[in-house]
Structure formats: C-alpha cells, structure tokens
Amino acid sequence: GSVEQAGFAVLKSPIPSILVETAFISNPDEETRLNDAAYQEKIAIAILRGIKGYIAKNPPLSRSTLASIR
C-alpha cells in the first residue's frame, strides 16, 4: 500500500497542530459508530488525554526561555 499525500493546512501550519482520523467513513460499521454520541465522546476524551499526555512530556517553553535561546 501507498501513503496518500494531501494538502491539508494542518500539515503545513507553522504552529503545533494535529490531524486526527478517527475512522473511515467509507466503512459502514465505522460510520455507524461515528454517528453515536457516546462513541464521539469516547473518542474526544481519548484525544484530549493524548494531547494532555504529550504536553506533560513536552511542556511548552516560556517566553523567557524562548528569549534566552534566541
């Protein structure tokens, strides 16, 4: 298989960004799950936990730290 390339703005953004694909809408089972509010909340919570975990391990630099680097 090959990896598809696309011009998503998030991939070209100069700021930290994420692109999350939660399912394939072309898959009827996954489409059904995506229409379920409880499943949407489960996915949202998982994404939030992932972001919080990333930030905990990679804290943003303070402005004073950034200034000292430059």
More confident call, 21 vs 7: 21
pLDDT at residue 31, rounded to an integer: 92
pLDDT at residue 2, rounded to an integer: 61
pLDDT, one tens digit per residue, over 10-52 is: 778 788 888 898 998 899 999 999 999 999 999 999 999 999 9
Distances in whole angstroms, Cα of residue 27 to Cα of each of 31, 33, 40, 49: 6, 10, 16, 26
Counted residue by residue, the chain has a size of: 70
Whether residue 3 is contained in a domain is answered as no
pLDDT at residue 7, rounded to an integer: 76
Whether residue 2 is contained in a domain is answered as no
Whether residue 4 is contained in a domain is answered as no
Whether residue 1 is contained in a domain is answered as no
Whether residue 15 is contained in a domain is answered as yes
Distances in whole angstroms, Cα of residue 60 to Cα of each of 7, 13, 20, 53, 70: 27, 17, 21, 13, 16
Q: Domains in the chain: how many in total? A: 1
Domain of 60, in residue numbers: 9-69
- pTM score, whole prediction: 0.69
Whether residue 60 is contained in a domain is answered as yes
